[in-house]
Structure 1
């Protein structure tokens, strides 16, 4: 009986994964567990990446924590994606996909995924 109840509770989350696709993000501040990038790669919650070198001296341009740029001390650290967040500054602007990972302290780190990957601020661990 408990297995049946557990299955019923988990079934909706297993079958209806939220998938966000590049240039097809309509809702602001919506979270996703899977993201299909501009290049067509599928990135999932739990995938591992490494912080590369910052592109602005000792600060990252595309990686922030609490709306402030992260500094070079995280370079070389690995992280797992916790979820994705589609976000834009206002209703009329296009939405960007942000990968979110555990931060240093209580605040999550937000990564402008496409730009950080293109600039080398994050790299996939293969």
Structure 2
């Protein structure tokens, strides 16, 4: 029983960290995982929400949706993906942005979506458009 208590105490902070909210107006410049993200437009994105992929905007595919270091394939346009993680990073060009990681149809790595840039460019469909189109 004592071992269980120690194990629970060690895991509790990890569980709590995943449930914290992050807001566009106050993006930390450190690594973090979050349970919800309040976007620039005030929408809330949460784990297990679904996003609809829009059209690619780059000459070779998506500019703001990646799998590892590569642009996501054009074949995902129009598909729904589930939000698995909401993250911030402390390194280089990733710093100061919120990324949504979504399921990647069986690929080893999830899609990493620079949420605000993908939304602004049309690479993901705005959540209110998803609802009004009956998706």
Structures share fold, TM-score greater than 0.5:
yes
What's the offset of the Cα at 1:30? 0.4
Bigger fraction of residues in strand: 1
Runs of 5+ unmatched residues, structure 1: 1-7
Match status 1:77 vs 2:83? no
What's the offset of the Cα at 1:76? 1.3
Runs of 5+ unmatched residues, structure 2: 1-7
Bigger fraction of residues in helix: 2
TM-score of the superposed pair, with normalisation by structure 1: 0.79
Match status 1:121 vs 2:123? yes
Q: Return the alpha-carbon distance in structure 2 between the equivalents of residues 56 and 36 of structure 1.
A: 27
Structure 1 outlier segments of 4+, above 6 Å: none
Would you say the 8 A contact 1:88–1:96 is kept in 2? no
Q: CA RMSD in A?
A: 2.9
How do 1:1-126 and structure 2 match up within 5 A? 17-90=19-92, 94-104=95-105, 105-123=107-125, 124=127, 125-126=130-131
Paired residues in the alignment total 119
TM-score of the superposed pair, with normalisation by structure 2: 0.74
